[in-house]
Amino acid sequence: MSRASTTSDVFNAVAEAHRREILSALGSGELAVGQLCERVQLTQPQVSKHLQVLRNVDLVRCRHQGRHRYYRVNAPALEPLHEWVTTFEQMWNDRFDRLEIVLAEMSATDPTRGPKEGTR
């Protein structure tokens, strides 16, 4: 039985660190493969392999100009990642709010536990 592809969706595609580096590099604008190789310190075959995975899930788009291929991030394809991560944002905000309340209560009952000078 053949193994199922682990890069068939956005989440699995960005699970690999080099592909996240490539996306970050492309976040500043369109780049040719050679420029990407320099930025992420990988060989051309390695970058091309990762770009193919990212293209398969539509995270990057390619434009041909002469012999060069220029890649750019397809931002709308990142929406599922953004939506998923955003679900954790409210949880962390709630936890920080509760921590702030606890610290304020501790400070009110024991003034020696207040913020030290130079902090905040």
Q: What is the pLDDT at residue 17?
A: 95
Every domain of the chain and the residues it spans = 10-73, 78-113
Q: How confident is the model at residue 30 (pLDDT cuts 50, 70, 90)?
A: very high
Q: With beta carbons less than 8 A apart as the criterion, state whether 51 and 33 touch.
A: yes
**pLDDT interval class at 2 (50, 70, 90):** very low
113 has a pLDDT exceeding 70: no
How does strand 68-73 pair with strand 60-65? Answer: antiparallel
- Two tokens, residue 17: 């660190």
- The verdict on domain 10-73 having CATH code 2.60.40.10 is no
59 and 77 Cβ atoms separated by less than 8 Å: yes
pTM of the prediction? Answer: 0.70
pLDDT tens sequence across 41-75: 999 999 999 999 999 999 999 999 999 999 999 99
pLDDT, residue 118, reads 56
Rounded distance between C-alpha atoms, residue 83 and residue 90, angstroms: 12
